[in-house]
Structure formats: structure tokens, C-alpha cells
Amino acid sequence: MQALNSTPVTDGRPRDLWGEDRALDAWAKDHGGTGGETERRWLRTARDALQALESPTPDAAAEPLLDELLADVRKVPRPGASGIAWDLRVPLERRLAVELVLAWADVKERLPGRLRPCGNPECRLFLLDRSRANTARWCSMKTCGNRLKARRHQARTRQTPQT
């Protein structure tokens, strides 16, 4: 989720939290990566492709980008005392981006229909709906939810004739 939500809108302006190389290198190192130009390129490619696939109007043009990222990636079983562990075989510079895509795929499989964009068309964040009824609409009720509800209320009161 953190990667999908790395392009928020703040004060009405889109931001890219991964736009600066130093910031993305720091994020990568915090998540087991090494940093560096090639790793940054793969991370941004994975993030942008996943955002395109999860947007309100999914963009199939993102699929070839994921195909390229996942080319020659293998998971190899390794038996042990506690069962089977799976070793990911991928070039080091793509490893973190591949793990990002695999985490997204895991969420899609385990929680179908729960990952979606915020219902606020001005917001670029995504939410993972953990509500029992699967009815969450906003990334945050405090920001987007209240904002949209207030706008709808104001629109209704402007339309209601005064007696």
C-alpha cells in the first residue's frame, strides 16, 4: 500500500514521494533494497504499473511493463523442518520491485475486491477495505470522506428553496 500511495495530492497539487532519488533510495534501503539507478527505475515502473491497473479506469498498457519486470523470475521451493520455504530468484536490482508486485498479487488473491482507489476523484490514494461489509469508499474518512460529504451537503442546501 505504501508504494501505491506514494503519489498523494497535497493542497490540491500532486506530489511524488519517490520523485527524488535520495528519498526513493532511503525507502528502498528501509525495505531491504540497495538503492541505485536501476533499482529506482524498476521500483517506479512497478509502482506506476500497479497504480494504472488499480485506477478507476484500469490501463492494460501497464501489463507489458509488469511482464518485463517479471521476466525470468522464479520461486524455488526449499524444504525445511517447518515446511516448504520459497526462494525468490531474481536479479538484485529487480528484487524489491518484484516483491512489491508479489505483495500486490497476494492482496488481490487473499482479499479480492478490497484494494481500490479512493472514491474522491481528486485523490490519488488507494485503500484496503477491511470493513465487514466491504463498503469503505475513501482513503480516509477524516479527509476525503468528510470533504465529499460536506460538498454534497452544501450542494443540497444551495438547491433547496428557502421558504
Task: Answer yes or no: do 74 and 149 share one domain.
Answer: no
Q: Which of 88, 110, 132 is the last residue of a domain?
A: 110
Q: Which of 95, 110, 125 is the last residue of a domain?
A: 110
Span 23-60, pLDDT tens digits? 999 999 999 999 999 999 999 999 999 999 999 888 99
Task: Answer yes or no: do 118 and 105 share one domain.
Answer: no
Task: Answer yes or no: do 43 and 85 share one domain.
Answer: yes
Domain that holds residue 13: 1-110
Task: Answer yes or no: do 97 and 122 share one domain.
Answer: no
What are the Cα distances from residue 21, in Å, to 6, 34, 76, 99, 110?
13, 12, 32, 20, 33
Task: Answer yes or no: do 54 and 11 share one domain.
Answer: yes
Task: Answer yes or no: do 134 and 92 share one domain.
Answer: no
Helix axes 92-110, 63-70, angle to 10 degrees: 120
Q: Which of 110, 125, 141 is the last residue of a domain?
A: 110
Number of domains, the chain = 2
Do 138 and 118 touch, CB atoms closer than 8 A?
A: yes
Whole-angstrom distance, CA of residue 47 vs CA of residue 45: 6
What H or E segment, with its residue span, contains residue 85? strand 83-89
Task: Answer yes or no: do 151 and 96 share one domain.
Answer: no
Predicted local distance difference test score (pLDDT) of residue 77: 96
H helices of 31-140, in order, are 37-54, 63-70, 92-110
Task: Answer yes or no: do 122 and 90 share one domain.
Answer: no
The dihedrals phi and psi of 88, each to the nearest 5 degrees, come to: -90, 125
Task: Answer yes or no: do 124 and 99 share one domain.
Answer: no
Task: Answer yes or no: do 136 and 105 share one domain.
Answer: no
Whole-angstrom distance, CA of residue 155 vs CA of residue 160: 9
Three-state DSSP at 113 gives: coil
Mean pLDDT of the chain: 90
Three-state DSSP at 14 gives: strand
Task: Answer yes or no: do 89 and 122 share one domain.
Answer: no
- Please give the single-letter amino acid code of residue 101: V
For the chain, counts of helices (H) and of strands (E): 5, 6
**pLDDT winner (highest mean) among 3-17, 61-75, 141-155:** 61-75
Span 99-131, pLDDT tens digits? 999 999 999 999 999 999 998 888 889 999 998
Task: Answer yes or no: do 10 and 70 share one domain.
Answer: yes
